[in-house]
Structure 1
Amino acid sequence: MDNIAYTLRLLAAERSASQQIRDRIELVWTGPEVTGSQSRDTSVVVRELFSKAKKTVLISSFAIDKGEKAKKLFHVLAERMDANPELYVQMFLNIQRPHHSEVAESVLLREFAHTFRRDIWTGERLPEVFYDSRSLAVDVKQKSSLHAKCIVVDEESVLITSANFTEAAQERNIEAGVLLTDSATAQALRLQFDSLVSHKILRPIPGI
């Protein structure tokens, strides 16, 4: 009987641990929903993450909307920044060189900074925005893209997703991701970006 009781206690502990892990991981989805789906909507999760941010937000995206679509995506975070002077926001964005263009990198960065302030961000306080200088290389053999799509909030919550910061990706496309409540993962992901910044692989965009 003692062995049976011990085994039952082990099984109960294992199930409890498994449930705790499941509780920290949620499926995040954009696209058609089917009966029995247990996923959460991407745009809802993003707004929730922005609205609860207290100290830090890290955003990485390959593509980003402009105009009213962008302002709709970011207005919650922009308002949060203006209301909370302690909130620090970093954005890591891909900047593409136009096809066959050999325009100086400084010109492309100046144009992007102007577009960001005019057509993307609505708040008074601006986030710190970074880019991968390799994405602006003239030589296609050296060119690369900043393709990661993720959000890290307060080094506690992490959204890793296929969805860019575009209306289509967050509301219409078929996109999949996971929301993790795990400080170790959040800190590790932030460290990845911080290390690239410290090694000047990711650089701040002047004028933002």
Structure 2
Amino acid sequence: MTGRLPVLLAGLARRLPPDRLADLLHRLDEVEGPDSPLLDRWSSDHPAAGLAVELSALRQAWREERPLLPGAALALSLASATAAGSAVAPPAELVVSGPTSPAIPVRLTSAIATDVIRSARTSLLIASFAAYDIHEIVGELRGAAARDVRIDLLLEESTSAARAFGPLRKHVRVWHRADRGNRTALHAKVIAADRHTALLGSANLTGRGLERNIEIGVILNDSPTVGRLVDHLRWLTGPEGLLRQV
């Protein structure tokens, strides 16, 4: 098999956790071709950030390069790519706020932040130096709380960032620096969903930061890397960490 299709299959094999990969393999076994509505249903059932874009690209390459290939054959190729394994982590996806350019394909920070929050099934870890004018984000977090997602907000106290999340106070845990007198600041900007996806960048959780300022970030889809990031943030909220719950 040549063309883009093998590359896209290998990318999905690296990215998907075992349970989602198994579900996709089962779905592919059931379809005859790339236009099956069963694939649309699978995509809506697995709303990880950027995953719908990857699946759409795969289906397009399938139509263009191997339109007569049945889904079962594609499932076999995907399973083979998974079994072969790869030491190369999936590339980070670039994200921007403000103007875009034709230099590289990018996605807007505001849309990605929403996608990452929606992809969480068990936990969300969110860190920001400043936060305000984020009604859409607050609404998404309210939806995550309704799904029983555990939400931890690591916020800088000096900017009064916690005020932006006032309507969610009963559904989130807020963390500030334990030592108010030191000269450190909580300056990280992170949205981590479970242990599979994380958005990192220069943008604060503000209306300007997510949409209008010139900001640059990346999405990490590599579960081991995201897991280590989550472990570090959890350590910061632990007994030996630098944050206290308020």
Using structure 1 for the length normalisation, give the TM-score: 0.70
1:116-163 per-position Cα deviation (integer Å, ceiling 9, x unaligned): 3xx5343474211101123x21xxxx3210001111101000111100
Equivalent residues in 2 for 1:55-204 (5 A)?
55-65=122-132, 69-82=133-146, 84-85=147-148, 87-96=149-158, 116=163, 119-123=164-168, 125-134=170-179, 136-137=180-181, 142-198=182-238, 199-204=240-245
Equivalent residues in 2 for 1:22-33 (5 A)?
23-33=90-100
Closer, same or farther in 2 for the Cα pair 1:123/1:79, shift >3 Å?
farther
Give the Cα separation in 1 of the matches to 2:153 and 2:105.
Answer: 30
Closer, same or farther in 2 for the Cα pair 1:200/1:179, shift >3 Å?
closer
Percent identity between matched residues is 27
Give the Cα separation in 2 of the matches to 1:154 and 1:176.
Answer: 23
Kindly indicate whether structure 1 or structure 2 has the higher relative contact order, using CA contacts under 8 Å at least 6 residues apart: 1
1:45 is the counterpart of 2:102 = no
* Structure 2: gaps (5+ residues): 1-5, 15-87
Closer, same or farther in 2 for the Cα pair 1:81/1:191, shift >3 Å?
same
Query: How many residue pairs are counted as aligned between the two chains?
Result: 164
Give the Cα separation in 1 of the matches to 2:229 and 2:201.
Answer: 13
Could you say what secondary structure the match of 1:130 adopts? strand
Closer, same or farther in 2 for the Cα pair 1:200/1:37, shift >3 Å?
closer
Q: Would you say the 8 A contact 1:150–1:161 is kept in 2? A: yes
Closer, same or farther in 2 for the Cα pair 1:200/1:36, shift >3 Å?
closer
Higher mean displacement: 22-31 or 173-182: 22-31
1:181 Cα offset (Å): 0.6
Give the Cα separation in 2 of the matches to 1:63 and 1:124.
Answer: 17
Q: Report the AA paired with residue 191 of structure 1.
A: D
1:196 Cα offset (Å): 2.0
Structure-2 residue corresponding to 1:106: none
Q: Report the AA paired with residue 245 of structure 2.
A: P
1:89-134 per-position Cα deviation (integer Å, ceiling 9, x unaligned): 111000118xxxxxxxxxxxxxx69x73xx5343474211101123
Could you say what secondary structure the match of 1:72 adopts? helix
Please tell me the root mean square deviation across aligned C-alpha atoms, in Å: 2.7
Q: Would you say the 8 A contact 2:95–2:218 is kept in 1? A: yes
Could you say what secondary structure the match of 2:220 adopts? strand
The runs of 4+ residues in structure 1 deviating greater than 3 Å are 20-24, 121-125
* Structure 1: gaps (5+ residues): 1-11, 98-111
Give the Cα separation in 2 of the matches to 1:29 and 1:89.
Answer: 25
Q: Report the AA paired with residue 120 of structure 1.
A: F
Using structure 2 for the length normalisation, give the TM-score: 0.60
1:36 Cα offset (Å): 4.2
Could you say what secondary structure the match of 1:38 adopts? coil
Give the Cα separation in 2 of the matches to 1:157 and 1:191.
Answer: 13
